[in-house]
A and B are shown apart, each in its own frame.
Chain A
């Protein structure tokens, strides 16, 4: 039996650096993932999400820093790595293996493999089990990765863009099955995704990566309340946000929508009412995009100085 979430102590990462030649992909990551939670790993393309998960699971080697899973270094550590499951978004499969052949060997790797869950998911996703895994369509590959990841019951499960190519029905099946299975068998799930708002209800905590750095780690509600959107006439919105940090701006004619860092105070509400500015909660997806744009703009500004 693999340890349950209550018997694991989570993942601790300190000063993790990862470079490919001269390209530094992860630049000093400090991160603690408590066991038994679903984490959303968010950020733009190339932010280092897959590299971070690959390094945790020892699929690639770290350049410096430490990673501990349940207090142990996972590098070539059979007992620790056996508690992980990480199907990459572009996971290669042996050319001659069918879906059925791969599913048949899975109980060898995962003692808590749930065959009935696997069969139910295969049926719900309508996966062609006799087809070779490499011949599956993009959506079918994602569905297959979800089948393996969920049925493995691995205490540390990593999902790399699990939605890629999935139609809305299949995505709904995924949400439903993930929440149901997680409720019965809590474990640590780290999920990278771009469909942030759609997946927001699944995540308990979000980790936002930008250019190899963690720019935000917070629970979903705290993240949402860490900024708000002010919408109104451009001049008035700019005046309203004069002493605030604007993360991003979007204008349509004279109307400006600004994503502003911080919580809405009673004073903000009073000023907004007086100037006919509407204050709205920020969507998680918009917040992440705004952080990305803001970080990029700040970097460019510093570079130009």
Chain B
């Protein structure tokens, strides 16, 4: 067996965790949205009137619900699985590559689930109460490829970000992890400042490419964070 595949199988060995929990989280988002709609409906009636329904299209739950869990999953994978893989005779390189494939598998399943739930949401006209969880502006307003792309890159970014912090912690300790978080905050503020400075071009770029521009930017961040995680992983010790 390819050495990287060993680590990928180690990552995937607890499917409930690496595949099941993201799916359950997405399903929980739907339940929460419906509950919020039901509570809102006490005042405005059900199904929700068109004006209220439009407000639900700005629901950002799909962007905020997943990252927390996925970041912790990425950090845990590179810490504990790393120690296990090394004990079982893996190299750092193959461990990282195998785990990265695992992250992409988790992202793929999460994105496919989001698309499936979007289809059900559309079919049931907002879960029978005209609410919106996946058919939202942030996910491409019901566009299946955009929903898939956005969920995929967001999941991958969360996992690799967790992996970066987990690896820096293992390689350099707690102080370096804090410094990394601080440095990333500075870089992020710098990028925002650059965007504000070049806002005319940025707005034009976003207008031309829409959500795909965001997907591309997040995808670029995934590559950068993954590269940083790989570099730190080469220096990590037991």
A57 touches B84 (CB 8 A): no
B93 touches A88 (CB 8 A): no
Does any Cβ of A come within 8 Å of B87's Cβ? yes
Query: What chain A residues lie within 8 Å of B86 (beta carbons)?
Result: 57-59
**B6, B79, B238: the one within 8 Å of A109 (CB):** B6
A78 touches B87 (CB 8 A): no
Known interface pairs A54-B238, A101-B14, A109-B6; A92-B89 also in contact (CB < 8 Å): no
Which DSSP category, helix, strand, loop or mixed, fits chain A's interface? loop
Does any Cβ of B come within 8 Å of A87's Cβ? yes
**B9, B14, B90, B238: the one within 8 Å of A81 (CB):** B90
**A83, A97, A101: the one within 8 Å of B89 (CB):** A83
A81 touches B91 (CB 8 A): yes
Known interface pairs A81-B90, A82-B89; A93-B5 also in contact (CB < 8 Å): no
**B3, B9, B87, B94: the one within 8 Å of A88 (CB):** B87
Does any Cβ of B come within 8 Å of A106's Cβ? yes
A106 touches B88 (CB 8 A): yes
Most chain A beta carbons < 10 A, residue from B6, B17, B83, B87: B87
Alpha-carbon gap, A97 to B11, bound state (A): 10
A104 touches B90 (CB 8 A): no
Does any Cβ of A come within 8 Å of B77's Cβ? yes
Alpha-carbon gap, A61 to B88, bound state (A): 17
Query: What chain A residues lie within 8 Å of B77 (beta carbons)?
Result: 94
Question: Which residues in window 165-207 of B have CB below 8 A to A?
Answer: none
Does any Cβ of A come within 8 Å of B76's Cβ? yes
Question: Which residues in window 78-119 of A have CB below 8 A to B?
Answer: 78, 81-88, 91-97, 101-102, 104-106, 108-111
**B3, B87, B93, B237: the one within 8 Å of A91 (CB):** B87
Chain A interface residue count, Cβ-Cβ cutoff 8 angstroms: 36
A97 touches B13 (CB 8 A): yes
Question: Which residues in window 148-174 of A have CB below 8 A to B?
Answer: 148, 152, 154
B88 touches A97 (CB 8 A): no
Which DSSP category, helix, strand, loop or mixed, fits chain B's interface? helix
Does any Cβ of A come within 8 Å of B125's Cβ? no
Alpha-carbon gap, A104 to B93, bound state (A): 23
- Min distance, Cβ B59 to any Cβ of chain A, angstroms: 30
Alpha-carbon gap, A81 to B238, bound state (A): 15
Alpha-carbon gap, A26 to B83, bound state (A): 22
Query: What chain A residues lie within 8 Å of B92 (beta carbons)?
Result: 76
**B76, B87, B91: the one within 8 Å of A85 (CB):** B87
- Min distance, Cβ B237 to any Cβ of chain A, angstroms: 4
- Min distance, Cβ B156 to any Cβ of chain A, angstroms: 20
**A88, A105, A152: the one within 8 Å of B238 (CB):** A88
Known interface pairs A60-B237, A76-B93, A110-B88; A92-B80 also in contact (CB < 8 Å): yes
**B5, B6, B83: the one within 8 Å of A92 (CB):** B83
B237 touches A109 (CB 8 A): no
10 contacts between A and B (CB under 8 A): A59-B237, A76-B91, A77-B91, A81-B90, A82-B89, A85-B89, A92-B84, A94-B14, A95-B80, A96-B76
B contacts, CB < 8 Å to A: 1, 3, 5-6, 9-10, 13-14, 17, 76-77, 79-81, 83-84, 86-94, 237-238
Closest A-B pairs by Cβ, 7 of them: A59-B238, A94-B80, A109-B88, A92-B83, A60-B237, A78-B3, A108-B6
9 other A-B residue contacts (CB within 8 Å) besides A88-B83, A96-B17, A104-B13: A57-B86, A78-B94, A84-B89, A92-B84, A94-B77, A95-B76, A96-B76, A101-B13, A101-B14
